[in-house]
Structure 1
């Protein structure tokens, strides 16, 4: 199963917008042709298309695979999680 569905439980891919994905998750793209997965600049994409834009529209039209150059029907996925939010710092002693 795609880790994107762990980040946004209960929503189908076609209904997920950038705003639905918690900022602790590192967003990436997956190529339909070669299966390559790599991180994307989430903040740049959100500035350009808006936080309310659905992933399916941006991914299918504008993601390009860095391995094979494919521009057709690529989609977003989650490629990681920032550790600072996954393991919060212990409170200061005192």
Structure 2
């Protein structure tokens, strides 16, 4: 039996930097030490372009606390009012 693909996860894989709404904040999350740090998404857009998908950029993330470069990911949250 084939399981249906989670549409939310599928959407995330295809999400580009330009798809982020202005009221969302981008963070990087370390897999090893669970550190969460702010990422300036406008600098990412300037460097990689608005059409760059977010999933491939996860391989470039590294933790500033422990130096881990493996299995890190993005976290997106609404901006606080």
Structures share fold, TM-score greater than 0.5: yes
Q: Which moved more, 1:9-18 or 1:67-76?
A: 9-18
Q: 2:73 corresponds to which residue?
A: 75
Structure 1 residue 35, shift from structure 2 partner: 1.3
Structure with greater Cα Rg: 1
After superposition, where does 1:4-83 map in structure 2 within 5 Å? 10=8, 11-60=10-59, 62-83=60-81
| Structure 1 vs Structure 2 CA RMSD | 1.9
Q: Which 4+ stretches in 1 moved above 6 angstroms? A: none
For residue 13 of structure 1, report the CA deviation from its aligned partner.
2.3
> CA 1:12–1:33 in 2, change beyond 3 Å: closer, same or farther?
farther
Does structure 2 retain, via aligned residues, the 8 Å contact 1:26–1:82? no
Asked if structure 2 preserves the Cα contact closer than 8 Å seen for 1:25 and 1:82, the reply is no
| Residue-pair matches, total | 74
